[in-house]
Amino acid sequence: MAKVSCRRAYTSELQKLAEKNPDILSVCTDSRGSVTMGGFAAALPEQFLEFGIAEQNAVAAAAGAALCGKNVFVSGPACFLAARSFEQVKVDVAYNKTNVKIVGVSSGVSYGPLGGTHTSLHDFASMRALPNIMVLTPADAVECRMITRVLAGRQGPAYLRMGRGDVEAIYPENEPFVFGKAKTVCSGSDVALIACGETVWPALCAARLLQQKGICARVIDMYCLKPADEEIVIRAAQETGHIVTVEEHSIFGGLGELVAHITAEHCPVKMRMIGFPDSEVKVGEPAELFQYYGLTAENIAAAAEKILRE
């Protein structure tokens, strides 16, 4: 199957939904190009608002529109929506439980060549700390369209985070999902590889490498980080005894610490966390940074082998 970016899957799906529902309102922050919202703006100008480089204003206005009955999606670079407008997300959206979906695009190191100002390796941690808000990140276009459909029909705040580039297809178009429940991509009993977002694909490739060595790795797509599917994590811990987490996020406050929290309370097991360290991130293309920081199939497989040897 051809690669498709999650951002294009999101915007095309949202436009289809908005054509049927005039209450859906798209708000952008000088990002209709980077979010690929240009088609929506041209087709549905009465349901589109452009705020320019003013993320705080965009989120505050979105909350006001939601209180007037609109179903609002605020789209822009994740690095700015999750940092510059954090107070507005905290107060106007999360605390007040307004029907606003914050959609952070080009997350993680998607903007790697632009340096640290444009990375968003903190957003899982910050958004998960807020009450009343879901935190989601799709692994491919199929899952992204599913999440968009559900969020459009669901009341309440959410933070949806996705990358910029085209991604491999993991799921077929007719794949069934139980929203909010993590997805087991492949089964295995020796070690569990728990990933989210664009790291699900290298985790799946790592499982294939391990299979060649006689190691059966379970791969779990933790696309919903809040509320977390604790049951699938506990079951993986009980049935494999070894867990490796992979995320395009700081090792602080993200998927790894979430899984460690769950297992520490219910079923302590040996773990390894693969993510970005507590240091300034190098400047480079996303693929180069994935390679440098070990978010690759080869490194994930090596971490799984090491934990099994221990």
**Which residue ranges make up each domain of the chain?**
4-167, 183-309
Rounded Cα–Cα distance for residues 307 and 252 (Å):
20
Of 297, 266, 125, give the one whose Cα is nearest residue 195: 297
Whether domain 4-167 has CATH 3.40.50.2000: no
pLDDT digits (tens, 9 = 90+) for 199-221: 999 999 999 999 999 999 999 99
Domains 4-167 and 183-309 share a fold: yes
SS (H, E, C) the chain: CCCEEHHHHHHHHHHHHHHHCCCEEEEECCCCCCCCCHHHHHHCHHHEEECCCCHHHHHHHHHHHHHCCCEEEEEEEHHHHCCCCHHHHHHHHHHCCCCEEEEEECCECCCHHHCHHHCECCHHHHHHCCCCCEEECCCCHHHHHHHHHHHHCCCCCEEEECCCCEECCCCCCCCCCCCCCCEEEECCCCEEEEECHHHHHHHHHHHHHHHCCCCCEEEEECCEEECCCHHHHHHHHHHHCEEEEEEEEECCCCHHHHHHHHHHHHCCCEEEEEEECCCCCCCCCHHHHHHHHCCCHHHHHHHHHHHHHC
**Model pTM?**
0.96
pLDDT digits (tens, 9 = 90+) for 234-247: 999 999 999 999 99
Dihedral of alpha carbons 253, 258, 259, 264, sign: positive
Rounded Cα–Cα distance for residues 239 and 194 (Å):
14
Pick the more confident residue, 31 or 24. Answer: 24
Residue 1: per-residue pLDDT: 66
Give the rounded percent of residues in the chain with a pLDDT score beyond 90.
Answer: 96
Rounded Cα–Cα distance for residues 30 and 25 (Å):
16
The whole-number average pLDDT for the span 225-235 is 98
The whole-number average pLDDT for the span 91-112 is 96
Q: Which residue among the candidates 55, 143, 198, 248 is catalytic per the annotation?
A: 55
Q: How confident is the model at residue 253 (pLDDT cuts 50, 70, 90)?
A: very high
Instruction: Look at strands 270-276 and 242-250 and give their pairing.
Output: parallel
Whether residue 55 lies in the annotated active site: yes
Residue 77: per-residue pLDDT: 95
If one looks up domain 183-309 in CATH, what number appears?
3.40.50.920
Of 136, 134, 133, 197, give the one whose Cα is nearest residue 170: 197
Residue 108: per-residue pLDDT: 95
